[in-house]
Amino acid sequence: MGNLFRKYAKGDRAIWLVIIILSIASLLSVYSATGFLAYKYQGGNTSYYMFKQMGSLAFGIGVILFVHRIPYVWIARFAYIGLYFSVFLLLITLFSGVNLNNASRWLTIPGIGITFQPSEMAKLAIIIYVAKMLAQHQKEDEPAKEAFWPSMVHVVLVAGLIFTENLSTSLLVVAVTVAMMFVGRVPFKYLAGTGLVAIGLVALSIVIAPKVSFLPRAKTWSSRVEQFLNPENAEKSSTYQSDQSKIAIASGGIFGKGPGNSVQRNFIPHPYSDFIFAIIAEEYGFFGAFIIIICYLLLLGRIGTMVRASNRTFPAFMAFGLGLMLVSQAFVNMGVAVGIFPVTGQPLPLVSLGTTSVLFTCVAFGLILGVSRHNMEQADLARQSSKKEAVDEASLQTNEISA
């Protein structure tokens, strides 16, 4: 088994451990949190969603195993195609997407009948694209000024397409790519300017959007922000989600109520996705929630080491960007559950129920692990070659001696 694993699963062991822990957490909590859904839609087949998630995860791990073997050079080559394909899909979604919770984020693939969220794909594509731009313009001892405009134009394009339907994802896209540019030595004044403009735009749209008809979710945004800022003034029913989530977390205590013993799953809307962290905190207590947080921090930490070890810029930027996206998504999800952020629908990567989310999270993990694999192979190669050189030298010496 160990050998088998070693044979097929390359790359950083710690990241693999994170993937396994999160998958297990996902199966346990999804099983517990979908009882209501199972009764409502699956005639009481309580394990339906767990098996569905198990299938998604198994498929996802297959994707990781596949993706992490692809040389990053290939990925860099497909950066443009991936990005424009995503933009194309986003456009289609915007005009003909499936409306779920008043947000048309879903696209049905014709023929197969599977719905998925193009924004998940677009997130990855834009990160890869920005990583490529940054890598192309890196110079010794000089800021990467030229990388800013091409990156920014595409970031704005993608974020703008997601924006009307999914404010938080588009904000995450901007934040993560800006962070990448910061690491990629794009001059700070450009980034600060971008930040200010973004803040201005968001504030403006939240204020005026309720009056404009083409932003159907604007009312939700402003009311959620309002609730978050003034919870005392908010109506009881509107703080319902976050109150129930806090009750879940609070009633978990230090050690939790135990697997499957959540009570709050019956009171929290979407306990299997947006609020799954609350269910974990309720059933597994402070320790369970602690482990999940540590998992994501560990992931980010390992990527940090990878970036430091990497001698190529594109894979380093890409791994860093993807890691940042995963972890920020996770933190937003947790932040909503514990009441640090306003209510928004970011899934907890790899844990929340949802095939698209799991799939593209796995692609991201695959890409990260691919970089890791490459670095490790390079390191091995270097070690071997230095060993070889040493042997050569030694043999040379012996030859000299013998000569």
Partner 1 sequence: MGNSNRSILIILFFVLIGIIFIIRLFVLQVVDPSYKYSAESNTQRKLTEYPSRGLIYDRFGKLLVSNQAVYDIMIVPREVAPFDTTDFCNVLNISRPELDRAYEEMRRNMRSRRISSFKPSVFIKQVPADQYALFQEKQYKFKGFFGQRRTVRKYEYPHAAHVFGYVAEVNEATMQRDPYYALGDYTGISGIENTYERFLRGRKGARYVMVDVHGREKGSVRGGRIDTTAVAGKNITLTLDIDLQAYGEELMRNKTGSIVAIEPSTGEILAMVSSPGYDPSLLIGRERSRNFPVLSRDSLSPLLNRAIMSAYPPGSTFKMVMGLIGLQENVLRTNTPYSCSGAYHARGLSVGCRHHRSPVDLIPSLAVSCNTYYCIVFRNVLDNPAHGSPKAGIEKWREYLNNFGFGKRLGSDFFNESRGFVPGSGYYDRIYDGRWSSLTVISLAIGQGEILTTPIQMANMTAAIANKGHFYTPHVVKDIENDTIPSRFEERHHTGIDPIHFDPIIEGMEQAIWSETGSTARIARIPGISISGKTGTAQNPHGENHSIFVAFAPKENPQIAIAVYVENAGYGSTFAAPIASLMVEKYLNREIHANRKWLETRMLNIDLINATKH
Q: How far apart are CA 310 and CA 102, in angstroms?
A: 44
CB of 298 to partner 1, least distance (A): 10
Q: Assess contact for 11 and 68: CB atoms under 8 A.
A: yes
CB of 111 to partner 1, least distance (A): 39
Residue with tokens 């289609």: 92
Q: Output 163 or 277, the one with its CB closest to partner 1.
A: 277
- Burial of residue 298 (number of CB atoms within 10 Å: 0-12, 13-18, 19+): middle
When asked if residue 338 is in the footprint of partner 1 (CB under 8 A), the reply is yes
Stretch of 124-132, 145-153, 331-339, 358-366 contacting partner 1, by CB under 8 A: 331-339
The letter for the amino acid at 122 is: A
When asked if residue 189 is in the footprint of partner 1 (CB under 8 A), the reply is no
Instruction: Tell me the sheet residues that pair with 5.
Output: none
Residue with tokens 């597994």: 284
When asked if residue 196 is in the footprint of partner 1 (CB under 8 A), the reply is no
Residue 9 zone, left/alpha/beta (φ > 0; ψ -120 to 50; rest): beta
CB of 248 to partner 1, least distance (A): 8
Stretch of 65-73, 74-82, 330-338, 354-362 contacting partner 1, by CB under 8 A: 330-338
Nearest of 115, 257, 26 to residue 34 by alpha carbon? 26
Report how far apart, in Å, the C-alpha atoms of 234 and of each of 207, 209, 242, 267, 357 are. 18, 20, 12, 19, 32
When asked if residue 290 is in the footprint of partner 1 (CB under 8 A), the reply is yes
When asked if residue 379 is in the footprint of partner 1 (CB under 8 A), the reply is no
When asked if residue 41 is in the footprint of partner 1 (CB under 8 A), the reply is no
Exactly one of 67, 122, 173, 324 binds partner 1 (CB under 8 A); which one? 324
When asked if residue 276 is in the footprint of partner 1 (CB under 8 A), the reply is no
When asked if residue 231 is in the footprint of partner 1 (CB under 8 A), the reply is no
When asked if residue 136 is in the footprint of partner 1 (CB under 8 A), the reply is no
Exactly one of 111, 214, 308, 401 binds partner 1 (CB under 8 A); which one? 308
Cα 48 to its chain centre, rounded Å, is: 25
Give the three-class secondary structure for 212.
coil
When asked if residue 71 is in the footprint of partner 1 (CB under 8 A), the reply is no
CB of 296 to partner 1, least distance (A): 7
What does the block give as tokens for 4? Answer: 């088998």
Q: Output 73 or 250, the one with its CB closest to partner 1.
A: 250
When asked if residue 163 is in the footprint of partner 1 (CB under 8 A), the reply is no
When asked if residue 3 is in the footprint of partner 1 (CB under 8 A), the reply is no
Give the three-class secondary structure for 25.
helix
- The residue count for binding partner 1 (CB under 8 A) is 51
Q: Output 51 or 290, the one with its CB closest to partner 1.
A: 290
Handedness of CA 141, 146, 152, 158 (dihedral sign): negative
Interhelix angle 276-309/13-33, nearest 10 degrees: 170
Residue 75's contacts (CB-CB under 8 Å, 6 or more residues apart) are 128, 318, 367, 370
Q: Output 86 or 329, the one with its CB closest to partner 1.
A: 329
x/- letters, 241..260, toward partner 1 (CB under 8 A): --xx-xxxxxxxxx------
> Residue 67 is inside which H or E element, if any?
helix 48-67
Q: Assess contact for 144 and 137: CB atoms under 8 A.
A: yes
When asked if residue 339 is in the footprint of partner 1 (CB under 8 A), the reply is yes
Q: How far apart are CA 324 and CA 330, in angstroms?
A: 10
Q: Output 321 or 345, the one with its CB closest to partner 1.
A: 321
CB of 345 to partner 1, least distance (A): 18
Interacting residues with partner 1 (CB under 8 A): 36, 179, 182-185, 236-237, 243-244, 246-254, 263-264, 266-267, 281, 285-286, 289-290, 293-294, 296-297, 300-301, 303-304, 307-308, 313, 316-317, 320, 324, 327-328, 331, 334-335, 338-340
